[in-house]
Structure 1
Amino acid sequence: MIDFRQYVNAYKFTWQVSRDQLKLIENKRTKAKSRTANNENLHSKRRVIDSYAILGITKAEYVCLKQNKKIKWSKEEMKALSDMRSMNHENLADFFGVCCNDGDRFYALYNLIERASLEDFVRDLDFDFDSTFQSAFLNDILRGLQYLHKSRVGYHGLLNVHTCLIDANWVLRMSNFGLSTGLNGFIEDGSLHVLDKLPKSVYVHVAPEHLKDLSVPNVYPQGSPEGDVYSFGVILYAMLNRCLPYEKAGLSLTEVVDGVVHRNLRPECNDLQNAQLLEIMNQCFNRTHETRPNLRDVQRTINAAYPASYGNLVDQMLRMNEKYAENLEKIVAERTSLLAEAQEQTDRLLCEMLPPTIAARLKAGEAVIPRNYKSVTVAFLQICNFEILMKKCSPDQVISFLNESFSTFDWLLEHNDAYKVETTGENYMVASGVPNENENRHVGQTIKLVAVPEWKFVIRIGFHTGPIAAGVIGLRSPRYCLFGDTVNFASRMQSTCNPNQIQIAESTANLLKGSPKYRLTKRGIVSVKGKGEVNTFWLHGNTPESGEPEKAAA
């Protein structure tokens, strides 16, 4: 039996990454990309990343420092790292952990977000950085900060335009949070040493109280919630002015730090049309941290300054993709193909999350009211011996196998009146008769999907017909979900089925007995959890009618 202390220690060190787990990748095309960056538009390129790490099958970006001596973590630091490892918020990049005391390098690892940084948007003057993008990104930052400030971590610490990253769904996610104070202490005591000097732009975002007595550019600043508010003000300045503070004045890093710490130097922006934004930004720059606004006051001002910033994640994505498409039309006529690609990406994303008819109604702004369906057929398919496959194959091979395995179903779905509810690992769930009712044709439609004689792997299939309830669940990430005993019964038909068989209950078999198209064999009584003894049948397939699509299994 595992000792309780061992269990606790294992939990504490979930954030510890060994050097053997990391595979470092250097981007050999970085220089070439940098040379052509001025000729590329933001929409047709990704972030220029010098190097990244592979952790398992996941890409990670990292902060790397030279380690001079063993690092000893305090209990509070380990608790904070454990909390960071378990954090899950849509506006924070996932923290994977740290690699330390394992060689002469220290790594802090975060999920790699490849689309762009906020700085890329700020400096791309061809990009129409209008109120839609401004409000969405500012609200994303505030949501992430509110989550951090309520957590054990307490603050971001390195909030700037470089660490605010935009993912493929136009959601801003903050990276490099929670480590600034720890890195500051380890550098000061000689445990760590920066390999490259930190850029000037990092210190421009740092509050005066954290710049004082700081050995720039070789030391990370400490952090605090009030310091994050100051950094938010700098980001707001950059978004509204399309440049960082003090750039136009041509001040050096030493002059900026000395001015901020000793001469009350602060960003000036008096020509903003929006007085609310100007006032809150100036309050964020207050020299004494106690007089800076809290996040609730900042959020209230942002909401008032951008009254049109409303809706859930799907609404935001649709509006932002529409703005993105409009912006593409203005840039160059030859890039009209990207407009269609952006529109298709939005439609494809919605149709993957929801049935097409439901997605169309949501796009049109219509409400999708949950409802009951009197008769729907739900089918479950499971690939047998999947655990053995997982042990013998690499993750890439498993994913490739599943893609090939389910390609037949995806092809058949395009030619029949059915909807793929979800795929989870080796399981595939499909329904017919919902959300589009099809006058009791759903049983036959489902059989066309599952009765494929040429499967080249061992599967078990079960389906059941009966009433269900269905509706859209979730606001930020909506899903069309099915509820009711029919779903559970169909799942039991699959789980109690023999390999390479299709099992149905007697009630479903009675719907098929009158048709010569279907061949049924009585299996007999089967014990079904929650149902007791159930009389079931084997379905051996159907005879395709002329004109119906046929496809061999992949």
Structure 2
Amino acid sequence: MGEILEHKLYHEFHFEMKDLHHENINPLVGFFHDSGMFAIVTEFCSRRSLEDILTNQDVKLDWMFKSSLLLDLIKGMKYLHHREFAHGRLKSRNCVVDGRFVLKVTDYGFNDILETLRLSQEEPSAEGDVYSFAIIMQEVMVRGTPFCMMDLPAKGKREFKTFNKGKKTNIIDSMLRMLEQYSSNLEDLIRERAEELEIEKQKTEKLLTQMLPPSVAESLKKGCTVEPEGFDLVTLYFSDIVGFTTISAMSEPIEVVDLLNDLYTLFDAIIGSHDVYKVETIGDAYMVASGLPKRNGMRHAAEIANMSLDILSSVGTFKMRHMPEVPVRIRIGLHSGNNQQLKQEKTFP
């Protein structure tokens, strides 16, 4: 039987198949017959069969992928039918997928071989292929087994076109579009993150300059070592709230916070119009210096004195939110020079 089979294959079958060339048809490479074993050799597709893809839950299939695979199947079967080839054994296992996710129809045109080997006596037909396609389409769309939608009403094959709005879909083009969109979105995301980073950097620099002198902050940002520096012509200002312990005992914690925040916001606005530098605020203590870190000659005492008078004037009209009837008084102390010249401490109403 081997010699008869080989003669039939090479003279009636092989020459019909060798002229079939289509992107969605898995090409026939040849036959293998040795030691009683017969095999058909076709092109290898690394993604295996459509059935394998559908049953592998690790493979995520969105509608774009599904429609692309089904359109590949339609184009492959259309090519065969136009050349009067009926498949006869179409199923998801006979649809293979290559490394580019292109579906190719395989196991087509082997009916004479199957008859010779007495493995099939059925005559294939285009109608049977259409029926098989409908089953595969259902498998892909719902990712279920054949006939799992028996309870649902049947729908025509033309309706498939409406799912994709009549557009032709190629999975490689779609993937390229997805990559382009991803690249565009990534560029926008990087731009947004860069803007956010710049804003946060500005906030950090602003906070740093509020905590440290600008020259010191700049040196720290550059990674330089800040060397200690002495200043001889300097005037310091100290102040605290008279009776702060009593006020705190009569207030809620958040009310104390509001009091200090309101008062120091007022002070901060005043010192901005004088040549002074706020050194620190701890609790109700407020400390300001003039003559450092920027030297101003002999003007340091006058700058602090004028600032003190402005602060004193503003406190006279200041009201606590939670106890507006209670007056706020502050204690101010000044110290000027290198333990010399001026030292004044006085309680102001």
TM-score band, normalised by shorter chain:
0.3 to 0.5
Give 1 or 2 for the bigger CA radius of gyration: 2
Q: Counting strand residues as a fraction of each chain, which structure ranks higher?
A: 1
Normalised to the residue count of structure 1, the TM-score between the two structures is 0.30
- RCO comparison, higher one (Cα < 8 Å, 6+): 2
Normalising by the residue count of structure 2, what TM-score does the alignment of the two structures yield?
A: 0.45
More helix by share: 2
